[in-house]
Amino acid sequence: MGTSDATMVFSNDTETAVSVESYSATDFSINTTTISGVENNTIMGVSTAGPVSKSLQTYEERVVVAVCWLLIALINIIGNTLVILAVVFSKKLRTSTNVFVISLSVADLLTGLAIPMSAVGLLSPGNTWPLSTEAPCYLAGMLLFVSSSASLFNLASIALNRLILIKRPMTLYRSLYTRRNLAINVAVLWLVAIATMVIPPLFGVGGFGYDEAHHTCSDLDTHPRAKTFERIQTFLSYPIPFIIIVSSYIMIFLHVRRHFQTQRSMRSAISDTTNASSSNGSSSFVVSDNATVLKTAQHNRIYRQQLEITKNLFMAVCAFFVCITPYCVALFIPNTDRYLLFLGVVFTCNSCVNPIIYASKHPQFKKVMRRMLQCRYSQIEEPSDALKALMACRKTV
């Protein structure tokens, strides 16, 4: 057969012939065909092969996502550090509920510390992890998943705490939320979050590392048992906290509605009694009723303050689910892999939303954080020993 005849190249997998045009000494053509996922370049009858990139996004898209994540990490670290320092500096913020708020801020802070590693992978022009070792990426991926699980457990603990505080007697609340019980509660929820994400990979079920498709530090979708690992994450981290959160806030809502209906009835009855007593000249009874009204008003003021705190914490829960829901829904919709990276940006926004809610809405956190941002530490209510020591050091300097 002469050189002018057509040359046939066969695929090992499909045994399909691919025709390559003939060439001459002065005129030759370059044909590129993809066979079984491998790019084959035929130049002057010589075939060369190279791997096709697994990336689902262009490099420009990766740069945009990396910049967004770095901004989120910056806001996250500053905001959650302020929340933690607010409790360190003010004794007034050292309540049982705020123990879980601080635990939640620590979880969010871990997310902020893990995000930059994914930005490193996104900004690298190549398709492989740019550093000499993948250990930082493995650790970042694990921290990201542990913190997400811990955040959900903390939000469930906060919801249950508010339910007991608002609906049950204060004596029961104080007996349940002692320092010892709070420490055990926080330790258990973190141990469960860590165990859920760490133990399965130790037994060969899933793993963490560099995701070549999205160029991020995450769990490995290419692992042979990745789907099993995802099911373990889902069933151990999501249903129970979700049920606790939803049921707790529904019961709080129903209780609050009944409470204010009762209060309106009581005020109406007291008003009618007071008017009747005044018309009959019973002044001592009026004084007694006025004392009852004042006591009821004070109780309502405290109740409304706790209700306001509960509403703001509920906003944090809503923000969490608004941020994570698009990503979680996309996981169950076919052909959405390309959009998961962009939805991941929305997912991680939940880690920096909470400090913004506390600084703008929470009545107690707002005051302390505002003083901190204004560097007016001496005006912080009920300063802690740590803050007093810090102020003393500043005066000596």
For residue 188, what pLDDT is reported? 96
At 225-275, the pLDDT tens digits run 888 888 888 888 888 888 999 899 889 888 888 877 776 676 666 555 555
For residue 311, what pLDDT is reported? 80
Q: Count the helices and strands in the chain (H runs, E runs).
A: 11, 7
Q: What is the mean pLDDT of residues 39-64?
A: 59
Say which amino acid occupies 28: F
Indicate the pairing of strand 7-10 with strand 208-211: unpaired
- DSSP code of 216? E
Tell me how crowded residue 237 is: count the other CB atoms within 10 A of its CB: 22
For residue 327, what pLDDT is reported? 84
The CATH T-level fold of domain 59-265+303-396 is: Rhopdopsin 7-helix transmembrane proteins (1.20.1070)
With a cut of 70, say whether residue 20 has pLDDT above it. Answer: no
The sign of the torsion formed by the CA atoms of 132, 136, 139, 145 equals negative
**Residue 226 burial class via C-beta count within 10 angstroms: exposed 0-12, middle 13-18, buried 19 and up:** middle
Lowest mean pLDDT among 7-21, 43-57, 198-212, 264-278: 7-21
Tokens of 125: 């022009």
At 155-207, the pLDDT tens digits run 999 999 989 988 888 899 999 999 999 999 999 999 999 999 999 999 989 88
At 363-374, the pLDDT tens digits run 788 889 999 998
With a cut of 50, say whether residue 32 has pLDDT above it. Answer: no
Closest alpha carbon to 186 in 100, 112, 115, 257: 100
Give 94's contacts (C-beta < 8 A, 6+ positions apart): 87, 384
Domain edges within the chain? 7-51, 59-265+303-396
For residue 51, what pLDDT is reported? 44
For residue 64, what pLDDT is reported? 94
| C-alpha–C-alpha distance, residues 238 and 50, integer Å | 42
Lowest mean pLDDT among 40-44, 215-219, 317-321, 371-375: 40-44
Q: Does the pTM exceed 0.85?
A: no
